[in-house]
Structure 1
Amino acid sequence: MEITHNQTFKALTQAIDKANEIGISVNITIVDTAGHQKLFFRMDDAFLGSIDISMGKAKTAMLFRMNSEEVGNFLAPEMGTYGMLHTSGGLVGFRGGMAIKAEGQTVAYIGVSGGSPDQDYEIAAAGSII
């Protein structure tokens, strides 16, 4: 099952509402289960440097079917797999990328960047259940 445009807007709205609630402007990317961009949204005053990070978090979560920070566990220098950081066009291994679920099934992935990793996670989580 793939995310519909109505579901995409619902996830976006939920994430924006959470960002407004905590008072942070972020970039939000939603990709489908194949990694193709479904939506990108930059809130007013969101950092330009966070655009690529939001896209990277969504893509990283999609490629490994786990939250971006879980992938980050493999990217630490002391891990034998830290070199994978440079694969797939670059991976982002900190909080803010995760699956979007509808009726218990993964339908897309969301990446959020612009706040602290904990804020990005909180905003992404708000958009992850539709």
Structure 2
Amino acid sequence: MKTKPYLSLEDVKRMATAAEAEATRNQWAVTIAIVDDGGHLLWLQRLDGAAPMTAMIAPGKARSSAIGRKESKGYEDMINGGRTAYLSVPVDGLLEGGVPIMADGHCLGAVGVSGVKSTEDAQVARAAIAALG
């Protein structure tokens, strides 16, 4: 039987703390979502001032990144590049701001962030992942 790494609750809390710190340092009101490798929600945190809609968008970004095993920006770029048929894929969150968590060639899950510019959302997500070391 093969084995693979996975996210522990301690890992998730460490990432959430780092994401919140990055957002707070930049005065960004965002929602932070962390999912496992199947796209199942492990953490959802809506910072003060974040729009209610961000609590729906952030998990979608994380989910699409985890199950696709790549940054959600790739889907947005594909659609913006003219492949509009991809809009019919039954996945939400096809916007920049979802970043996969990779270790030893395995996708452990992803972080999705929503609330500011998409590049800033991705910056917060990457700060979360960097906390894992």
TM-score range, shorter chain: 0.7 to 0.9
Distance 1:87 1:104, change over 3 A: closer
Residue pair 1:33, 1:62 contacting (<8 A) in 2 also: yes
Q: Which residue of 2 aligns with 1:6?
A: 10
**What is the deviation of 1:77?**
6.5
Aligned-partner residue type, residue 86 of structure 1: S
Residue pair 2:114, 2:121 contacting (<8 A) in 1 also: yes
Paired with 2:92 and 2:53, the residues of 1 have a C-alpha distance of 15
Q: Which residue of 1 aligns with 2:74?
A: 70
Q: Which residue of 2 aligns with 1:121?
A: 122
Residue 112 (structure 2) pairs with residue 85 (structure 1) = no
Paired with 2:31 and 2:105, the residues of 1 have a C-alpha distance of 25
Deviation per residue, 1:86-128 (Å, 9 max, x gap): 322x433332101124577532211000111121111111001
Gaps of 5+ in 1: none
Aligned-partner residue type, residue 122 of structure 1: Q
Gaps of 5+ in 2: none
Paired with 1:105 and 1:64, the residues of 2 have a C-alpha distance of 12
**What is the deviation of 1:11?**
0.5
Paired with 1:29 and 1:86, the residues of 2 have a C-alpha distance of 24
Percent of residue pairs bearing the same amino acid type: 25
Paired with 1:68 and 1:122, the residues of 2 have a C-alpha distance of 13
**What is the deviation of 1:63?**
2.2
Residue 38 (structure 2) pairs with residue 34 (structure 1) = yes
CA RMSD of aligned residues (A): 1.8
Secondary structure in 1 matching 2:95: coil
Q: Which residue of 1 aligns with 2:108?
A: 107
Moved over 6 A (4+): none
Paired with 1:16 and 1:104, the residues of 2 have a C-alpha distance of 27
How many residues in Structure 1 have an aligned counterpart in Structure 2?
127
Residue pair 2:69, 2:107 contacting (<8 A) in 1 also: no
State the TM-score, normalized to the length of structure 2. 0.86
Paired with 1:17 and 1:94, the residues of 2 have a C-alpha distance of 23
Paired with 1:17 and 1:103, the residues of 2 have a C-alpha distance of 27
Paired with 1:46 and 1:39, the residues of 2 have a C-alpha distance of 16
